[in-house]
Structure 1
Amino acid sequence: MTLRSVFSLLLFSLLTACGYQLAGTGAAQLPPHLKTIAIPVFDNVSQEPTINRSLTERVRQSFLRDGRLKLVTDSANADLVLNGKLTGYSIRAVAFDDRDVVTEYWVYIDLDVVVKDQVKNRTHLKQTLKTRWDYRPSINVVDAEASRQEAFLQAYRLLGNRLVSLIIDQF
């Protein structure tokens, strides 16, 4: 076998074994007793009312997209229950132009989560998650609010994906 054919064979085997996989089809296999998850609306002790509902909905969507656990509404009949408490929320101006007008904000969100395995009656996960997301405001008030809302959605999506990973991918 020539050096060139060995190199080609090696390159081909590396490319075909890259480990690419679709979301929700990971190698992580859940224990057989875990089939459903309930995610009640998160508690909110932050200074910003009602953002807990949007955060909860984004976390639910992350689990729906993943698809390995069925999302149910009744916590009493769920195998896993994910309870969350939004403990921190803030927006900080971090960049300014030469006229002292804010050009960038950071959104901070802190979330305490407890996931209980109700089948085996044990705590599966207890952790505080923190995230930061940035956004650039606009001079137009409507556009500035749209940028702020998009920053929230991105932060919520990040937290949702992290929770899916923490809860499911560890198996």
Structure 2
Amino acid sequence: MCMLTGVYLVRPPLPTIGGYEGIGEVHSLGSAVTALSPGDWVIPSLPSSKTWQTYIVKNQIVWHKINKDVPIEYAATITINPLTALRMLEDYITLNSGDAIVQNGAISMAGKCVIQIAQSSGIHNINIVRDRAGIDEVEEKLKKLGANEVYTESQLEVKNLESLLVSFKS
């Protein structure tokens, strides 16, 4: 969406088709295609724009086959969200094991990646999600990924956030 709103340096002429994430299913093949079969899941080999469309016809070299055992939401975002999460954790400040971070939107795919990377690096992660039905299930899923703390927006007040962070640092 950032490309369409002009946040990225690349600004395609409008109207355009959006999307960097996505997964496709092969429906038919040209006679020279040997590496793919109908029904295969594919993503662009290099991050590619214009993935939010119903049909795309491109050379087989553009596509990378994805194992269908990978959950579709991970497969569809693998070229964007893990790298976004890593950059958020590494580009702004040096974080060390024992440090703490807070993120909102923790239920997003990028948020889930932040949790996993932080957990594997020994970084205490505090995660904020929107209030919703089934919040106990959401919290359980995030904790299985490595979330240390999960709060809804209504459970936290901004004025208490700093004291929460300080309590984890000491």
Q: Scaled by the length of structure 1, what TM-score is found? A: 0.21
Q: Larger Rg: 1 or 2?
A: 1
Higher RCO (CA < 8 A, seq sep 6+): 1
TM value normalised by structure 2: 0.21
Structure with more strand by fraction:
1
